[in-house]
A and B are shown apart, each in its own frame.
Chain A
Amino acid sequence: MLLLLLGIVILHIASLVLLFVSTIVNAWTTGSTSSSDLWNNCSTTNGGYHCEPANTGVWIQAVQALMILSIIFSFISLFLFFCQLFTLQKGGRFFLTGVFQILASLFVMSGAVIYTVMSPKWVPDSEAFGWAYIMAWVAFPLALISGLIYVILRKRE
């Protein structure tokens, strides 16, 4: 029982860490001399390495908001899990925790989808998607599975 609990918590925290890293690191698209992400476009030119804030388009701000919301919801879900662990009756389901985690996964998915669809506008064809972008896509099924486990799981002992 304790092992199961530990495994679930580790899964949850892993998806949370993935979300964090993916939002923060500047590697959503990488080219030979430049990299850009949700917040900055950085490039190495002859002068050196300098960054400028991402253009203030409507869609990139939506992606920023969705990623931040998914992190917030994942945090709330972790907090609720610990709350429900101690207050739920025997045989009860961690329904609220699961709902929040599933919502977080949906937000990550929408953010990644919007970025993918709008990227031809922002990213020149010579550049490829970076690892932080891939992390966002990996975080989505992890969070979804974690949420579903919470919805199915029942409290014992």
Chain B
Amino acid sequence: MLTILALASVVLLGIVPQQSEAIVIYTGWERHALVGSDIRLSCSFFSWRWTSDDVTFSWSYRADGARDAISIFHYTGGAPYLDNKGPFRDRLEFVGNPGRRDGSILLKNLDYGDNGTFTCDAKNPPDIVGRASSVRLLVFEKVPIQAGVITGSIIGAVLGLLLLIVVIYYLMRFLVARRVFNLSVSKHGKKGKGKEGSQQRQASPLVVDPSKLKAAASEKKKQESRKDKK
């Protein structure tokens, strides 16, 4: 029985990595940025293998309306190579950590001409089969409010207020009922026996305030019964 289990686990361990060998790359879907600002384009990957020393990252850029992509960044052999001839020369910076599977780059001083699609491709030898992932960059003069943000916040605020009012109402009712109960208990105790004077003196400051509350509660009950009679 145990041998069968051991054999099965060995076989599974041998089979599973073979099947899911593909590398999976994650970037954002779309990024919004203001003119003149900096933006960090993140790229990370998932792979069943350990991160090898020959891991490579490469970023390419295809402008909006252009037909082909140009390569703007490549990391290989432990060193990053930035664009020094293309549209991003002196504006790129490598801020990733290949040891932690992070190949992010930082774009500085954005302009309207930087609108386009950035594609990240990572390879982790021997895990090289995978699909590159793209993130779209949109540069605005003023970042627009996303559709539905204000709608959702207004609805959430009003419903939250409603919930708060309901909770406070039930809390007040519970507290008033509890105070009335406490008071009735203490009054009962006081009437029950002719206690020592010290105890009576201690009890009296407690009695003065709750008496007002009791009067208020009884008045409320009287009002309610009057309403019901009507």
Contact = CB atoms under 8 A, between A and B. Distances in A.
Interface size class of A (residues with CB under 8 A): 10 to 19
B51 to A, nearest CB: 41
B167 interface: no
Contacts of A61: 145, 147-151, 154
Which applies to chain B's interface (DSSP): helix, strand, loop or mixed? helix
A56 B154 contact: no
B150 A91 contact: no
B154 A89 contact: no
A68 interface: yes
Interface in B106-153: 144-152
B216 interface: no
Nearest to A68: B155
Which of B146, B158, B229: most chain A CB closer than 10 A? B158
Contacts of B158: 69
B228 interface: yes
Contacts of A66: 154
Contact of B151 (A53, A65, A72): A65
B228 A62 contact: no
A54 B151 CA distance: 13
A65 B154 contact: yes
B150 A62 contact: yes
A53 B147 CA distance: 9
A66 B158 CA distance: 10
B159 A64 contact: no
Interface in A81-134: 89, 91-92
B100 interface: no
Contacts of B85: none
A56 B148 CA distance: 8
A62 B147 CA distance: 11
Interface of B: 144-152, 154-155, 158-159, 227-230
9 contacts: A53-B147, A56-B144, A56-B145, A62-B154, A65-B150, A65-B154, A66-B154, A69-B158, A72-B155
